[in-house]
A and B are shown apart, each in its own frame.
Chain A
């Protein structure tokens, strides 16, 4: 932990002058990186800063153009991921590489020669139990992975890497899908792993976590190392500045305005899926003009069902949904659009955008069947073009023109297309689901600003996200969605963050607590 300790040890990993170019993009430019035994190194950077490329180079998934890697004093070159694992490097990807239909034990044995030609279930099971015990990672080897919650699956990945002898663990954005209690337990485990003489590279863009667990932090921007510091000498604002290359003002311009009339009203909305499981439980919610209701929650707790029911992609089995007094419970998407309900889904690649279509077509994606985009039997290409030109300049979409395919845009500009379409229609109600997902801080800020602007113009917004920070920043009223229930909705000045964390982890425990 102390600065002296980390400096004196000769580094376990030394990456020198790593460069990698993809076409015209210099993903890594002469990057140096050192990690020592017992150290947790934070690798900080925006999306596209070159973190993932660097780690792929280290793990042998990508060949660098230049540079050398020394691991435990030996040179690593032209290695495959399999060789990386056998020399003691373990990588835990953001998206788990687990077979859901198999047990924990089977997943860990999978593709591992030590599991034996005839599988040695007993011994390996015992090994798993011991390892999990020594790191405080309770795990049942016989459990089916498909039935485990997200945090537990991550433990499977960690144990898988540990029992294979990983001395250097790479964790790629490990906290992005966890609830606050799960995050803090993960950070504890990471600390314990490092204290036993292993090393960890922790990839993240969340500053708070860096300060909680790291010994040292390296900041990447545009493929270059722009900062390197012991955590004791770092400051939050300093790191943030390094990451984006400018000051990100954290102040929101929240115009003080009294919420107006009720716009969106949900009464006792419940939904059962085709297998008969209750996905939503009697949700009551009223949303007023110029108000943002923000809901936090860990992914998979009914958020998708809630937004689908509101957007008209699914229909509730009980209850009613009205917008400005008009019953839209079973209205079609087109009806909802006509009644001022806009929707920003989480998934750009397959839902809110068609990557192969042009910007102008994507901007008209939800209105192509209405005038002026439809003229009689034909599409009115000129109307598409006209709208696109206006939106591109109004929302500052960086593109070569309205006829550029959306797939050629950066993630931030893609989301601007979605924002331009949904907010540009000046909706009465905006349903935004993880609207900043996968965006860098600059683009995130743009989305947040646009939502705040809609609020000042009297729009009502339901913002749903698993990023607690964002929910706290945006919401006029803040609540939690857990297990399909809407919990603890309260005005922003009366919010208890601890309570929210507990509710996110599961409301049943909470009702036991209070």
Chain B
């Protein structure tokens, strides 16, 4: 092929004039330039959710401005509250970034809940059954164990999909219940604390506790893992052949096949990664917050992870602010309830509204982009 080929006359001049201007405005690199516009939209949507949520507060005879002030102070008012909120965000971010990768590849993994639960069990078992190991060995081992257990749990669903054609929505959803009940099962059986009034395991030996980052607060090292996970997932997604495969798979099966991508391998790997991250979230939660396995320790984390991934419009790096938003909101909500008497469950309304508004805003922006 050389320049000596017959050169075709261009005929769609008018088209080109129109189209050459559009791309520069819409996107430079697929995501990077568009990122800030989307973030702004997401922020607007979140603000709107607060405005709308003011209505029920007003109806209950409370002043929404005071309530929100209490919420903000509750979330950011002290080092303790910030530490608490960061701890709360950690599992959300870990599980959320895995879900974002899966959804990007059109693998609908909603099994975070079960993967977190199983990860917590595995980490607890290692923490309880390896006495005498120093913390520098025990903690990584327990984290690794949690991650592997979560990955294995996800692999079951992936296997069902690949071997028997059971859709992963079904597989992951149903395995959630099994995972949650498994926590109950082990706490009422082999791992339960004898004589405790509540289904919980004995306290872990102190060398299994995640180190705290700020002396005098509860802030544990998990948030660093979450940060690392977000950065790694971002790099993998945008800058490696594996991420390229996931993006192809997310576009269409036909395009992926045409590009020589093995659907089986990619689906399995992305499920393993997401499961591993969720399992890690479970391990961090038991090793960093409770220092024991307790029933319901993962309450709603897995489903919130899906919400957070969507709030981040499935962009790995945006999972960080989205996860922090959920964590700080829930932390502030407790203060709001304490001080103003607005029930903390109102934050679920705010979370729900924020999700709806963000999805609408991004939906509209996508439609605009296509023209």
The interface of chain A, by Cβ under 8 A from chain B, is 22-25, 48, 222, 244-246, 253, 311-313, 332-334, 337, 343, 345, 347, 350-358, 361, 365-366, 368-369, 374, 377-379, 381, 394, 396, 398-401, 403-405, 407-410, 412, 423-424, 426, 440-443, 445-446, 449-450, 453-454, 457
Contacts and interface: CB of A to CB of B under 8 A. Distances in A.
Contacts of B23: 399-401, 403-405, 408
B6 interface: yes
A246 B255 CA distance: 36
A396 B10 contact: yes
B255 A368 contact: no
A394 B370 contact: no
A379 B239 contact: yes
A354 B26 contact: no
A354 B260 contact: no
A220 B168 CA distance: 50
B260 A410 contact: no
A440 B9 CA distance: 13
Given A354-B252, A369-B260, A25 B18 contact: yes
B252 A253 contact: no
A162 to B, nearest CB: 37
B7 interface: yes
Interface of B: 1, 3, 5-12, 14-16, 18-24, 26-30, 239-241, 243-244, 247-248, 251-252, 254-255, 257-260, 370-371
Nearest to B252: A350
Contact of A449 (B6, B26, B28, B251): B6
A87 to B, nearest CB: 31
Contacts of B257: 313, 333
Contacts of B24: 400-401, 404
Contacts of B5: 449-450, 453
Contacts of B10: 396, 398, 442
A161 B3 CA distance: 52
B11 A442 contact: yes
Contacts of A357: 30, 247, 251
Contacts of A412: 12
A424 B243 CA distance: 25
A313 B8 contact: no
Given A369-B260, A405-B30, 16 more contacts: A350-B254, A350-B255, A351-B254, A357-B247, A357-B251, A381-B239, A394-B3, A396-B8, A400-B21, A408-B22, A408-B26, A410-B12, A440-B11, A441-B11, A449-B5, A457-B1
B261 to A, nearest CB: 9
Contacts of B20: 398-400
B1 A353 contact: no
Contacts of B7: 396
B6 A48 contact: no
A333 B258 contact: yes
Contacts of B26: 405, 408
**A312, A337, A356, A361: residue with the most chain B Cβ atoms closer than 10 Å:** A356
13 contacts: A48-B12, A347-B254, A369-B244, A400-B24, A401-B23, A405-B23, A407-B370, A412-B12, A423-B1, A440-B11, A442-B8, A443-B12, A449-B6
The 7 closest A-B CB pairs, nearest first, are A333-B260, A404-B23, A442-B11, A446-B8, A350-B252, A351-B254, A354-B251
B241 A368 contact: yes
A268 B8 CA distance: 40
A342 to B, nearest CB: 12
